[in-house]
Homo-oligomer: A and B are copies of this chain.
Amino acid sequence: MVKGSQSFVFESQPVIISSATVGGPLEAEGPLSGDIDILHEDPYIGQDSFEKAEKLMLEEAAMKALEKAGVNRDEVGVFISGDLINQIISSSFAARTIGIPYLGIYGACSSSMEGLIIAASLVDGQKVRYVLTGASSHNNSAERQYRYPNEYGAQKPPTSQWTVTGAGVCLLASEGQGPKVTAATIGRIVDMGITDPFNMGAAMAPAAVDTIETHFKDLGRGPDYYDLIVTGDLGAVGHKIALDKFKEKGININENIFKDCGMMIYDREKQPQVFAGASGCASSAVTIYGHLLNEMRKGNIKRLLAVATGALHSPLSYQQKESIPGIAHAVAIEM
């Protein structure tokens, strides 16, 4: 409510009563596979297109989250979801299957935390008792839409990132057991004039730093408030830029507590095809709603600041010589 503030607290502390994640073949070989509920060897998952496979993963994650919590679909007031495919058809067609009232969002790879902020606002405001929110991406559907048909085998620079094949969903409730959503910071667009779509980490890093700095300022907190501050998909290049920017600004963030989902979900030595790391809506959705919430449930993390990062460009804006607008939304999750 403070003028100029981008942050607010959720007084009622909505609870993430369950979460579920789905992954593809490369995610199954990665270091976080033990925290992914459903793993698929076939990137088509038996469907006749990658887009339909992506939609199916989102449906699976949603149904699994409901199953874990023992909540029926008809008890859930809203399903909030976003993805990278034009007109977010993965989300909208999954919403058709799931049958829950639906709000579609688009924040590129920041969609996971954008959805959680809206979900927590609806639960906190006593609008609905349960909200399901998630995000998905698929390496093959993203590659052919944003870059080249996979069959071209085009070369990529080392700054490029690998879109995660997967989906992550969480079920938020007004009461129950689990990690609580306590505060949020809605990000502003930060555009440093970067135009290279093969270096999205660099385009998003300044937005992540801006949102984290704003979060600290608005809520009167420092980095030491959190056990872990995690960005969505900066990758190795963007992560280093973010660390350098914090140093420039005199914000002392220990590297041990500042990590990036894009550097956690794959083993870059054993999986060199991912280059600078992971990207895509599922990078943060799978890592946060899978591994990191599990770590919170085990007591290994008490206070998490989850900062999903998005590059809000399109192939058309690139062709029209626009730079890449970056955004980051932060959510404080506490056990």
Contact = CB atoms under 8 A, between A and B. Distances in A.
B101 A88 contact: no
A186 interface: yes
Contacts of A254: none
Interface string A50-64: 011000000000000
A177 to B, nearest CB: 20
A258 to B, nearest CB: 22
B322 A93 contact: yes
B89 A317 contact: yes
A118 B103 CA distance: 9
A178 interface: no
Contacts of A75: 3-4
Given A92-B189, A125-B124, A314 B87 contact: yes
Interface in A84-108: 84-89, 92-93, 95-96, 99-108
A316 interface: yes
A325 interface: yes
What band does the interface of chain A fall in when counting residues whose beta carbon is under 8 Å from B? 35 or more
A40 interface: no
A263 interface: no
A155 B132 CA distance: 43
Given A86-B316, A87-B106, A118-B121, 8 more contacts: A1-B126, A3-B129, A48-B320, A51-B316, A87-B312, A96-B189, A103-B107, A103-B114
Minimum-distance CB pairs A-B, first 7: A125-B125, A87-B314, A92-B312, A101-B186, A96-B189, A8-B127, A86-B86
